[in-house]
Structure 1
Amino acid sequence: MWLPLEIEDLPQLYRDMALARSTLTKYVIEEDRPSGGTSSVQCFTLNALVTAALGRKTNAIDLLVLDTAGGEHRILATLEGLSISMLVVRHHDESDMYYINGTATNMHLEPLPRLLAGSGYLFFADPTTKQRLINLNLTSFMN
């Protein structure tokens, strides 16, 4: 894990912003590497966390909300064997939106583009769940 160094003298808000840039070393841009240090941490995939939380008896998730302050599309791309009814993912820019939409489509999830449009989140549902939302007359949020 890469962490920024020499942030102790910064005001709390700036210190929090600097620490939010902490990430796996392989995702640090070359220019930032000298201004930080590394620390070994144990990492788990989201699939492993889901298995630990739900056990091996199910792969079904009713609602998955993913907001990791960056890297959401990389995490989504690692998901395997999960059946997700609804997915909410934070996006940060147009590039995020593109990759998240593509990954969700590959997961057989359909976008709900008008659901809280402009909120910084993308909403998806499997076809069955989307139809249930339509049956509940929530179509004004989804079309």
Structure 2
Amino acid sequence: MTETTDNLSLFPEVDEQATIKKVTSFFKVTFPKMVRYSGRSITNLQSPVISDMPGVKNVENNADRRIVQRLTAENVVEQTMKALNVCDSISQTIIKKLYLSDHRVYDFQIWKEIGYQERRYYYYKNRALLAFADYYMLDDLHEFQEPKKLQV
């Protein structure tokens, strides 16, 4: 196998639209659920939250499951914030305003606030979501194109 062929199989072509859709779903569905499970508030993600919740006296398996669930959720939240913090500033701004706000924010509000035209805003929004997929290391949020078959 040649070096070029190795690189192609190691880094398959990203399906950008499918990846954008997957990252959007992550921020709209998965991430808010993980924030709730972790016991944190979406508006206080920058600073750690110490929980003094009383222990639940239940069946041990249920308690173990809840502990694992909470630790997993905390890890997702932590890795999300780490990935977001290495994105460029405009990507951080767009993602934080759109998905890390405690109230519903619409795209048009953000593009007006940051002073972009609609088309330019969506270019940067898509770029931000793709960059986040690159930096998020807990799961692979990329969707890949089917490999092209060589004609012989």
Name the structure with the higher strand share: 1
TM-score bracket, shorter-length normalisation: under 0.3
TM-score, normalised to structure 1, is 0.26
TM-score, normalised to structure 2, is 0.25
Instruction: Work out which structure has the larger RCO, using CA pairs closer than 8 Å and 6 or more positions apart in sequence.
Output: 2
Name the structure with the higher helix share: 2
